[in-house]
Structure 1
Amino acid sequence: MKTNFKISTLIGFLGVCFLMSCSAAPADQDEEYTDLSEDELHDVARKMAHEFIMVDGHVDLPYRMKVGGFTLQREMLDVSERTDGGNFDYPRAKEGGLDAPFMSIYIPASYQENGGAKVFADSLIKMTERIAVTWPDKFAMAYSPADIKRNFEKGLISLPMGMENGAPLEDNISNVKYFYDQGIRYITLTHGKDNLIGDSSYDDAATHGGLSEYGEEVVREMNRVGIMVDISHVSDNTFYDVMDITSVPVIASHSSARKFTPGFERNMDDEMIRRLAKNNGVIMINFGGSFIDGDYQEKTNEVREHIVNWLAEKNLSRNDPEAQAYITAYSAKHNPFPDVKKVADHIDHVVAIAGIDYVGLGSDYDGVGDSLPTGLKDVSMYPNLIAELLKRGYKKADIEKLCSGNIFRVWKAVEDFAAQEG
């Protein structure tokens, strides 16, 4: 009997240990990084950037290529190699751990006023597809989280597409399904001006007072076919109308927190962020200087004005060696650019008021010019942001959610709803 008791006790003890080991989180998920040195932090951050799938909600490469004079008939900008200028190319993306930049199919407001929005959108979609066709060993199109995961396993950079400005839908609701079939997986409802869908944050005309009746139909149809609704660029009234109508979570593909930029309606205020979280959506933080620092524009203007006046006093042009030396020194001393900490502040704020499950990355690379913060000047630098967050106490699981977990959750919910509706 004693032998049996000892054996049964041992078996019971081993069973408890097994259950505890199964239920416990992996050790490194709860590891603290706050006591690491700067070098150690950046080493860990680089490893995480390459371990996790990293999605960026908004990269303006297609429009950068278009305005650079690259067309389907002419030689295309070789983004398979390191490029002069711009923020995105394959080598830098690989360095930074970027796996799935949403290619912005950006439609300037002039096309909704003068016509041709749908044709222009089609041209940018074809240009994006040509990237994948031209360099199939480096890039691949992606139309779902599953596609991105498969491409990641192959070492390929995925090119999902989002359309910035719903103007190409024109006044034909069937164009929602048309653009889904063309590969568009989110639509930013408006851009710089009010359109047929709704009111823009940059336009004070308040044409519809929010969504138009057609815009309500567009949101429902986007839900039905499986296109994510993007509320970046819309007015506050339009945002709340979307929240009342949508049957699925929505995204802000490249917006930041208005707390740090008072009066800048393009960003989201605290109430909107909480409502987005209640909807189970995600705000993807924009890196642009004007989006993350309310004083950026004023500081930039002061530096620019001083340099212009100094050049006039010295009777020099910007190309003169003396002028270039002075501009470099003065700009460094009076640096108007925010740094990576500012982007981390926005992430902190969203987490504080809504939680880690509702924030992601939406840099606006190739779309915000030279206003990008120090430490995040191009797609090679995401590890700098990860290091800053680790320093602030973020865990490995938090970083994975920020990189792709949260946007994948939203995207999958939209896919699932469309499958049920279909």
Structure 2
Amino acid sequence: MMLKNYLSIALFAFLILTQGISFGKPKKKITHTPTVHQIDDKEALLRKKADELAHKYIIVDGHVDLPYRLHAKMEDVSVQTAGGDFDYVRAKKGGLTAPFMSIYVPADLQRKKGFSKALADSLIDMVENLVKQYPDKFALAKSPADIEANFKKGLISLPMGMENGSPVESNLANLQYFYDRGIRYITLCHGEDNFICDTSYDTTNTWRGLSPIGRQVVREMNRLGIMLDCSHISDDTFAQVVALSKAPVIASHSSCRTFTPDFIRNAPDNLIKAMAKKGGVIMINYSSMFLDSISNKTYETKRTHLRQWQKEHNLVPKDSAAKAYETDYDKLHPTPLTNVERIADHIDHVKKIAGIDYVGLGSDFDGVGPTLPDGLKDCSQLPNLIYVLLKRGYTEKDIEKICYKNVFRVWNKVAEVAKGM
């Protein structure tokens, strides 16, 4: 009998050791650390997904300075170019479908009657000629429906926005003229106050926001169906435009000031929220100086120094001596660059304070080249941004909105308001 008891105890002990029998204590959960191969496989799948979405969805970019780049130096952008951030080959690789061609007019031309309008016309001519030269690659687009039709044909759309309202030249009839030429948004001013409004880059505060004519410009743009672009304008102007406009507005290439507190060119939270409340969209600029305070402070220090040096030597930025000095200065004081993750940080911030429906993309390609972040040096690398968003948990629907649906909503609403007026 005792032997049987000993055998029973021994058997019980054996079962405890081999089968994990416990006396009411919870079993320890066994976890498996992912292997390097599993992590690599997951990343590869996510990157593949990002590339697929970049080509599945239309991607609208609010601001690409290709026309002014070609104005300075003509290149064949139907093939891959050595310089710049945009061409047909790289756009196709990255999935960029509808870059708004910036009809950029420098502020200094507004002091010479007729010069602003003449340059705007020549840049519009240039965009039209691209389409005529390469009809199998590029197409004009004056509406979201045009972009959708071009996308189905495999064409890259070239909608147009005018950066600086100075070509209007205090003549409201010119708004109709530029609308007829295909301009679908106007950035009201650029680096200096103009006849429409005050700029973020100037402390003159000429009008304390919109001028009397500027208010008429807002109403006429609403009537015609031209989107009001709040990039470059002062905070007072921004607030007044949002309040006065009967349609939602955009910021075609601005980022969030919360990351660059001293950089007035970026939009503050209260104005992002006000714009969103009216249905508008802020389109994030990719430049490191817009994205990160360290990059911004270094760049602003450089800009202040160069302006002072040019003034002392009676030069302007386009003079060869001024360009040479700037090149040497850059070598000694390079602007530190951020990375593609920082663009996603700005998108996160807009999503947090306003909502996913109020953010888009506005690279500033060909306008800020040296300051573009690591991971998004040109339009071929757009899938890198989508990868980061997927990694952060953004859904396909979220990404579709960021890529084009949000700005399409604004654009269509602006057209609808115009019909009602």
Mapping for residues 223-302 of structure 1, pairs under 5 Å: 223-298=222-297
Cα distance in 1 between the residues matched to 2:300 and 2:166: 33
Mapping for residues 373-412 of structure 1, pairs under 5 Å: 373-412=373-412
User: Which residue matches 1:16?
Assistant: none
1:63 aligns with 2:59: no
Deviation at 1:290, TM superposition (A): 0.8
CA 1:300 to 1:45, structure 2 compared with 1: closer, same or farther past 3 Å?
same
1:152 aligns with 2:157: no
CA 1:288 to 1:38, structure 2 compared with 1: closer, same or farther past 3 Å?
same
Cα distance in 2 between the residues matched to 1:292 and 1:261: 7
User: Which residue matches 2:178?
Assistant: 179
Answer yes or no: is the 8 Å Cα contact 2:77–2:88 preserved in 1.
Answer: yes
User: Which residue matches 1:339?
Assistant: 339
Cα distance in 1 between the residues matched to 2:350 and 2:278: 15
Cα distance in 1 between the residues matched to 2:350 and 2:236: 21
User: Which residue matches 2:414?
Assistant: 414
Cα distance in 1 between the residues matched to 2:173 and 2:41: 55
Cα distance in 2 between the residues matched to 1:397 and 1:338: 27
Mapping for residues 323-334 of structure 1, pairs under 5 Å: none
User: Which residue matches 1:203?
Assistant: 202
Structure 1 unmatched ranges of 5 or more: 1-33, 71-76, 304-326
Mapping for residues 28-177 of structure 1, pairs under 5 Å: 37-68=42-73, 70=74, 77-115=75-113, 116-177=115-176
Deviation at 1:114, TM superposition (A): 2.1
Secondary structure (helix, strand or coil) at the match of 1:101 reads: strand
Give the aligned residue type for 2:111.
E
Give the aligned residue type for 1:187.
I
Deviation at 1:39, TM superposition (A): 1.4
Deviation at 1:301, TM superposition (A): 9.2
Cα distance in 2 between the residues matched to 1:298 and 1:359: 25
Give the aligned residue type for 1:263.
D
The two structures, once aligned, show a CA RMSD in angstroms of: 2.0
User: Which residue matches 2:26?
Assistant: none
Cα distance in 1 between the residues matched to 2:164 and 2:86: 22
Deviation at 1:297, TM superposition (A): 4.1
Secondary structure (helix, strand or coil) at the match of 2:360 reads: strand
Deviation at 1:259, TM superposition (A): 0.4
Secondary structure (helix, strand or coil) at the match of 1:53 reads: coil
Equivalent residue pairs, number: 355
Cα distance in 1 between the residues matched to 2:233 and 2:297: 24
Q: Normalization by structure 1: what TM-score?
A: 0.81
Cα distance in 2 between the residues matched to 1:36 and 1:212: 58
Answer yes or no: is the 8 Å Cα contact 2:290–2:296 preserved in 1.
Answer: no
Cα distance in 2 between the residues matched to 1:301 and 1:227: 32
Give the aligned residue type for 1:171.
S
Deviation at 1:369, TM superposition (A): 2.8
Give the aligned residue type for 1:81.
V
Give the aligned residue type for 2:103.
I
Secondary structure (helix, strand or coil) at the match of 1:295 reads: helix
Cα distance in 2 between the residues matched to 1:382 and 1:144: 23
Per-residue CA distance 1:203-241 (angstroms, 9 max, x = gap): 100000000010000000000001000000000000011
Cα distance in 1 between the residues matched to 2:420 and 2:41: 48
Cα distance in 1 between the residues matched to 2:179 and 2:300: 42
Deviation at 1:37, TM superposition (A): 2.2
Give the aligned residue type for 1:361.
L
Secondary structure (helix, strand or coil) at the match of 2:370 reads: coil
Deviation at 1:420, TM superposition (A): 2.1
Give the aligned residue type for 1:351.
K
Deviation at 1:152, TM superposition (A): 0.1
User: Which residue matches 1:30?
Assistant: none
Cα distance in 2 between the residues matched to 1:170 and 1:269: 30
Give the aligned residue type for 2:78.
S
Secondary structure (helix, strand or coil) at the match of 1:370 reads: helix
Deviation at 1:419, TM superposition (A): 1.8
Cα distance in 1 between the residues matched to 2:293 and 2:336: 11
Runs of 4+ in 1 over 6 A off after TM superposition: 300-303
CA 1:337 to 1:420, structure 2 compared with 1: closer, same or farther past 3 Å?
same
Per-residue CA distance 1:60-95 (angstroms, 9 max, x = gap): 000000011x4xxxxxx2100000110000000000
Mapping for residues 17-28 of structure 1, pairs under 5 Å: none
Deviation at 1:348, TM superposition (A): 0.3
Per-residue CA distance 1:133-157 (angstroms, 9 max, x = gap): 0000000000000000000000000
Cα distance in 2 between the residues matched to 1:263 and 1:58: 23
Per-residue CA distance 1:378-421 (angstroms, 9 max, x = gap): 00011000000111110000000000000000000011111222
Cα distance in 1 between the residues matched to 2:171 and 2:335: 48
Cα distance in 1 between the residues matched to 2:389 and 2:345: 9
CA 1:250 to 1:114, structure 2 compared with 1: closer, same or farther past 3 Å?
same
Give the aligned residue type for 2:396.
K
CA 1:226 to 1:295, structure 2 compared with 1: closer, same or farther past 3 Å?
same
Give the aligned residue type for 1:408.
F
Cα distance in 1 between the residues matched to 2:40 and 2:251: 34
Q: Share of identical aligned residues, percent?
A: 57
User: Which residue matches 2:28?
Assistant: none
Per-residue CA distance 1:340-362 (angstroms, 9 max, x = gap): 01100000000000000000000
Cα distance in 2 between the residues matched to 1:158 and 1:297: 32
Cα distance in 1 between the residues matched to 2:418 and 2:297: 46
Q: Normalization by structure 2: what TM-score?
A: 0.82
